[in-house]
Structure formats: structure tokens, C-alpha cells
Amino acid sequence: MSWQAVDPKQQLTTMVEMGGGWVNAHAHIDRSYIINADNWARTNDALATKWDLTDEYKRSASVEEILGHMSMAAEHLLMQGGQALGSFIDCDSVVRDKSLRAAEKLRERYADELEIVFMSQPIKGLSDPVEREWFEHAAEFVDIIGGLPERDGHHDPSLDRSDEHFDTIFGLAGEHDKPLHIHVDQHNTPAQIETERAIAKTREHGYAGRVTLIHCISLAAHPKPYRERIYADLTEQDIGVVTCPTAWIDHRRSETLTPTHNAITPVDEMVKAGIRVAIGTDNIADIYKPFSDGDMWTELRFLLEATHMYDMDTLARIATRSGLEALGLAETRSAIAA
Ligand SMILES: [Zn+2]
């Protein structure tokens, strides 16, 4: 297709349209649009504190109210020409099954317009038996089992239960024959090796081709030989990745010396290594990301600027086909080979 050099954005968005429209492969729409004047002051709290700060909303919100928040996210994606949406939903002792019930209604409401895929979010961790029970309850409903190993992690090894978290989610996924989406390496520091750990668990549980990792930011803080080894392993295990560019580009300055890089998934290197990379918005208008508006072009623009990736076919694929693959809506390499 020929196009005028004056408007590459229009060319790229047309290519996304030809691919069926945007795929937002990672969000948390059950608690989107909950930022307000009262909770604004908490937007600068630490991540681990924020994990529990949405409890007030989750405790008091009705199924209809949660459905309203979810619908706003769905409407906004449709307005942009979206074709599919993948969202984690919290399933814990605070929100109980309200988000699951809202999710069911959302899927009915948008059945003709938008493919919607749900993952379970263990936001309260899986160490507490009550929380674990809620998470297990959700496993039947969701399309994909979700993970957040960091939630059960601890700097004191005797208190660190993140390994158990990994085993629980892989065990549940196997039991229900469902794929996995796992949040890993969110903190842009070489101290994190969660991508490597997720690869080892994928091997251990024989789950090649069924795992997608969300973020993998810290990978970029490791030296090149380490990154290259991880890329080879990701390719070998056919593990996909979802990048959420604006979600972590806000990382704080630190005095830790690392290879120079932007705080973003190293997508440029991953694509060259043959890894499937999709894109998502992550949180929309909440205490984590108050200004995030769920705009897919903003995400793609941040990605291409932060990684110097200008190849339009690659970018369009990230925004469409790779998202469908990550959500199990299109066949992946290993599925075709099987
Ligand atoms: Zn997330």
C-alpha cells in the first residue's frame, strides 16, 4: 500500500484497522475509572500499599456499579475501533464474586461487538487460605489463570512464598486446562529475575506455548548476555509477552547502575528474537495510573518512541494479531504445530 510520508500515524492506524482493530491484551477494568478527589492523595503511595487501597471501593460497590466501570472501559475501546479486550479481575475476600458476576454480564452485553477475555487476579496473594479459596473459585469462571508472584514475595527468604504462588497458579491452570498470564519483573531493577523464574516453572510444569508474561521490565536492567539467554528460553518455551508502555515508563530515578535503557519491556530485542509481543493499557484512571485514559494509540506511540521501533508491520501486528494470540483468540506457533 502506498502512503504519504506526511502522516505515518494515519498509515499505522489504518493497518491496525485492517488487522481487525486494536487488541488491548492487558487491563484491570473491574477497578477502572475509580480515581476521584478523595483518593487522589494516595496516587503517590508505594505499589505494595496501593494493592489494598482499592478495598473500600471493592467492598461497597454493587455488581451493577462494577459493571458500569467495566462498560466504560469496553465502550472506550469500541470507540477507538477495538476488537478484543483482555482483563484481569480481582477475586478475593473483599470483592467476593461481585466482579465475576459483573464480568459475566459484561460479556453478554457486548457479545456482538467485542471479544472479552478474563483472567483471575490474585491481588491478595495466595498464602492466606481464604484468599486462595476465592482464587480457586474464580478459576472455573475465567478464561485464563492470572498470577502476581511478587504479591507473595518477601526480601527475607524464610518468609518468601512467591515460589509457592508460581506452583499454585501452574497447578490450577493444569487442573482447569487453561492458559496462564503472569505479572513479572515490574520494578526495572536487576535484582528481579521473575521472567527467568517463570520460564523455569513453565519447563517444570510442561506448560510451553500456554504462558504469557505481563511487563518483563526488569529484564532490560540486566546485561546483554543475560537478556539474550532469556530471549532464547522464551522462544524455546513459546512464551508470549504483553507490554504496557505507559504503565511503567514512570519508574522513579534510582542510583542502581544498569545498562542504559528506558523503563519499558525490551520489545525491540524480543521481536528480533522471535518472541510474540502484544500490547495493553494496564490500569485505567485509578490510584495506580490516574491519568491513564485507556487510549491504545498512546500506548503504541510510547512503545515505538521508547524502543525506537518504526517498522509498521511489526507495530500493527503487536496491536492486533499478537494480542489475539495472547488472549487465545488466534492460534499460536505451537498450537499450529501441535
Ligand atoms: Zn496488570
Rounded to whole angstroms, how far apart are CA atoms 192 and 185? 6
Tell how far the Cα of 181 is from the centroid of ligand 1, in angstroms.
10
Element (H, E) at 171: helix 162-176
Its sign, for the CA torsion 135, 138, 139, 140, is positive
Tell how far the Cα of 88 is from the centroid of ligand 1, in angstroms.
7
CATH class of the domain whose range is 8-327: alpha beta
Tell how far the Cα of 298 is from the centroid of ligand 1, in angstroms.
17
Residue 40 pLDDT more than 90?
no
Quote the pLDDT of residue 111: 96
Residue 49 pLDDT more than 90?
no
Tell how far the Cα of 64 is from the centroid of ligand 1, in angstroms.
23
pLDDT tens digits for 180-235? 999 999 999 999 999 999 999 999 999 999 999 999 999 999 999 999 999 999 99
Residue 48 pLDDT more than 60?
yes
pLDDT tens digits for 254-290? 999 999 999 999 999 999 999 999 999 999 998 888 9
Within 184-289, residue ranges assigned H as helices are 194-204, 224-236, 245-248, 267-272
Tell how far the Cα of 5 is from the centroid of ligand 1, in angstroms.
36
Average confidence (pLDDT) over 123-148: 97
Tell how far the Cα of 183 is from the centroid of ligand 1, in angstroms.
6
Among 26-30, 36-40, 183-187, the range scoring the smallest mean pLDDT is 36-40
Element (H, E) at 312: helix 312-319
Rounded to whole angstroms, how far apart are CA atoms 211 and 282? 18
Rounded to whole angstroms, how far apart are CA atoms 279 and 267? 10
Average confidence (pLDDT) over 14-30: 97
Residue 1 pLDDT more than 60?
no
Quote the pLDDT of residue 337: 67
Tell how far the Cα of 7 is from the centroid of ligand 1, in angstroms.
32
Instruction: For strands 115-121 and 145-147, give the pairing.
Output: unpaired
pLDDT category at 175 given cuts 50, 70, 90 is very high
Tell how far the Cα of 52 is from the centroid of ligand 1, in angstroms.
15
Quote the pLDDT of residue 191: 95
Quote the pLDDT of residue 50: 75
Nearest to 259 by CA among 228, 305, 296: 228
pTM for the whole structure = 0.95
pLDDT tens digits for 137-164? 999 999 999 999 999 999 999 999 999 9
Residue 332 pLDDT more than 90?
no
Among 33-37, 92-96, 305-309, the range scoring the smallest mean pLDDT is 33-37
Tell how far the Cα of 48 is from the centroid of ligand 1, in angstroms.
13
Q: Which residues surround ligand 1, an ion (CB under 5 A)?
A: 282
Beta bridge partners of 90: 121
DSSP, residue by residue, 283-297: --SSSS-TT----HH
Average pLDDT for the chain: 94
Quote the pLDDT of residue 273: 98
Among 1-10, 57-66, 304-313, the range scoring the smallest mean pLDDT is 1-10
Distances (CA, A) of 163 to 159, 160, 184, 229, 307: 11, 8, 13, 22, 32
Tell how far the Cα of 186 is from the centroid of ligand 1, in angstroms.
10
Q: Residue 218: CA atoms inside 13 Å, Cβ hemisphere, count? A: 17
Tell how far the Cα of 287 is from the centroid of ligand 1, in angstroms.
13
Among 57-61, 78-82, 198-202, the range scoring the smallest mean pLDDT is 57-61
Residue 332, Ramachandran bin (φ over 0: left; ψ between -120 and 50: alpha; else beta): beta
Rounded to whole angstroms, how far apart are CA atoms 34 and 30? 9
Rounded to whole angstroms, how far apart are CA atoms 338 and 332? 10
Nearest to 194 by CA among 253, 255, 265: 265
Question: Do residues 314 and 271 make contact, with C-beta atoms less than 8 angstroms apart?
Answer: yes
Rounded to whole angstroms, how far apart are CA atoms 242 and 3? 29
Quote the pLDDT of residue 4: 64
- All residues at 6 or more sequence positions from 86 whose CB lies less than 8 Å from its CB, including other chains: 23, 24, 25, 26, 27, 116, 117, 118, 119, 144, 181, 280, 323, 326, 327
Residue labelled with grid coordinates 491504545: 296
Which amino acid, residue 28?
A: H
Tell how far the Cα of 56 is from the centroid of ligand 1, in angstroms.
19
DSSP letter at 144? B
